[in-house]
Homo-oligomer: A and B are copies of this chain.
Amino acid sequence: MTYCVGLLLRDGIVLLSDTRTNAGLDNIATYRKMFTFEDPGERVIVILTAGSLSVTQNVLARLDEAIHDDAPDTPNILTAATMLQVAEIVGSTLNTVAREVSVKISSMENQAATASLIVAGQRRGGAMRMFLVYPEGNFIEATEDTPYLQIGEHKYGKPILDRVIRPDTPLAEAEKAVLLSMDSTLRSNLSVGMPLDLAVIERDACRIGHARRIEAGDAHFAAMSEAWSKALRAAFAQITL
């Protein structure tokens, strides 16, 4: 499985993904699930992926191929006029690939290959937007009322987000919140694993502000995780029935 989360806040966008991929419990591998497309200052798009790797890799490969294709009449995600059109291109590509793969699979076994994606970004002059693209290619958008979107194993890490994330949460706090949301998920579900990919996009920058990979032994993350455990236990001890 997977856990990916995106926050759409007043000050910017914060995205976090894990990297664990498994086909059964005895076939575990590390694959990047965060993909960035950037024309710095003009446009930035980040795509997070969950689901069948054969679907998500193919979707990303086609989106990438379309960018490098010399077909100026067909809009790609770096030339589409709006973020809504970007989401539509991603959704259509996902629908096409998922159907192609599922035809192959269903000829062999009674199963479908599905994936879902988070697409977030901004083009110069437009608003920051973030979409959750469903396996069928239709999508919903994050709003002020629901400023975060999750794909994959989303339940373990939801309570912390429900409690601390508001549209005006500052970016540094938001970064902390997604890392702690991931930390809860890592502790409770083996199918989600380090390393992690984090990206922060500041409002109107139209470029990745900072991005980092957090490796399994990362001292900062381990210290934060340990401090959070301690703080939670202390908070728990304070509560009276």
A interface residue numbers (CB < 8 A to B): 153, 155-156, 158-160, 162-164, 172-173, 175-177, 179-180, 184, 187-189, 220, 224, 227-229, 231-236, 238-241
Which residues of the other chain, B, contact A163 by a CB distance below 8 angstroms?
187, 229, 232-233, 236
Which residues of the other chain, B, contact A176 by a CB distance below 8 angstroms?
236, 239, 241
Of B164, B188, B227, B241, which one neighbours A159 at CB under 8 angstroms? B188
A-B contact pairs, 22 of them (CB 8 A): A155-B188, A156-B159, A159-B184, A159-B187, A160-B232, A160-B236, A162-B187, A163-B233, A164-B232, A164-B236, A173-B236, A176-B236, A220-B241, A224-B239, A224-B240, A228-B235, A228-B239, A231-B236, A231-B239, A232-B232, A234-B235, A235-B235
Given contacts A156-B159, A176-B236, contact A241 B224 (CB under 8 A): yes
Given contacts A155-B155, A156-B158, A159-B184, contact A239 B227 (CB under 8 A): yes
Cα–Cα distance between A76 and B129 once the two chains are bound (Å):
61
Question: Min CB distance, A236 to chain B, in Å?
Answer: 5
